[in-house]
Structure 1
């Protein structure tokens, strides 16, 4: 467990099996009291961004943090950066391999250049935020056609085997630490830390939205969390997109 211990005031629910931890969080939202981490050892209907299926082989990590938050949607969305920073910290703490992990805007953690994790934010009710996190600890799903990054898993890439509860016990205090920084100091320190660990800064990127494709140089992340590309048509701030490395 992290030296910081479990964050005060947070509950932990460990399930052997559920459809998805996000759906479990949605069911519990109406009666939610304290912030709660929900971990499942097996998901039967996991999902990712834009409704994509999230394959969850045995031994991988699947958890959702659900909590009440009285903040505007734009600030709630910044928790995607908080989650990615916390996950990287937890993985570095447990593996002692700081150079193996990189961040990909807006919220992925890469391992040796491959996709290790997925992070999904949803609001299952007014004033409630659910943050779902999946990590390939022991097995990788089959790559999707046209996937930007091949899925990788921690055990194959590093030879290190972590248990889901072991990761959760480091992730929860790491998330609480970064979340406190966001609440106290705003997005500035989060943005700086993310830029310090993000992949391909200053290099070419392709950003694809549902309707457009932008090609340019990854200049920065702005104060709202948008990706800033320098394109032949000028600087473009892109709030949401799928990222590809040429």
Structure 2
């Protein structure tokens, strides 16, 4: 995969910028910003993105049906996990789109698809950026884990190299290999979890599987629940 990198000093959001240019931009266009003024995660949640972190969005144009495009978020997460591993950091995937290190969030992945047109894969990775005081109990950076600053361009290159491999599997229809890797790096399978939406618990049980569509399967006391990607937030109970 060839990457065409657009580097910006500041932008509202790399996803918003990428969305504006996606209809005419070639596949493999990567928007990278030193800082975002309006970074967002799932459901529009604010994502603190000061200078020092890796804030990027990749424009992809997969020829894939709607039953598979939701797996692109896993492609991004696996690329981040591989990159962390190369630095000696063990990460885990908190379904569906967070990467954790020792239970703290180090990265978030955001995917958006316009079927038959383009897909946006946003990656926010805490590298050298300072974690706000109010998030220190729940978030961490690579710098904090390693005790030293890391070359940000090197991290970007490693993420893109790993993304090339996982996206190559996706384009070749090897979704089973992607799901196998997701399950192998899961922070939730085998654990009791609660599914929270709009502040209310809508399901609770043991996370027993991630099915072929990428949905999380919970086994409750009375029934089995299938939770679709993008519908809920997840908290450990």
Aligned residue for 1:70?
A: 63
Name the SS for the 1:195 alignment partner. Answer: helix
Q: Which consecutive unaligned segments of at least 5 residues does structure 2 have? A: none
Q: Which consecutive unaligned segments of at least 5 residues does structure 1 have? A: 1-6
1:122 to 95, 101, 112: 112
Q: What pairs up with 1:92-171 in 2 under 5 angstroms?
A: 92-93=85-86, 95-97=87-89, 100-123=90-113, 127-138=117-128, 139-143=130-134, 150-171=138-159
| 1:172 shift after superposition | 0.8
Q: Tell me if 1:219 matches 2:208.
A: yes
Distance 1:44 1:238, change over 3 A: same
TM-score (norm 2): 0.91
Aligned residue for 2:47?
A: 54
**What CA distance in whole angstroms lies between the structure 1 residues aligned with 2:50 and 2:5?**
22
**What CA distance in whole angstroms lies between the structure 2 residues aligned with 1:109 and 1:204?**
18
**What CA distance in whole angstroms lies between the structure 2 residues aligned with 1:179 and 1:212?**
34
| CA-based RMSD | 2.0
| 1:230 shift after superposition | 0.4
**What CA distance in whole angstroms lies between the structure 1 residues aligned with 2:173 and 2:102?**
32
Contact 2:193 2:204 in 1 (8 A): yes
| 1:120 shift after superposition | 0.8
Number of aligned residues: 233
**What CA distance in whole angstroms lies between the structure 2 residues aligned with 1:114 and 1:160?**
18
Aligned residue for 1:232?
A: 221
**What CA distance in whole angstroms lies between the structure 1 residues aligned with 2:115 and 2:190?**
39
Aligned residue for 1:202?
A: 190
Aligned residue for 1:3?
A: none
- What do residues 14-53 of structure 1 show as CA deviations (whole Å, max 9, x unaligned)? 1111111111101211321232111111111111111111
Name the SS for the 1:165 alignment partner. Answer: helix
**What CA distance in whole angstroms lies between the structure 2 residues aligned with 1:245 and 1:205?**
5
Aligned residue for 1:178?
A: 166
Distance 1:140 1:33, change over 3 A: same
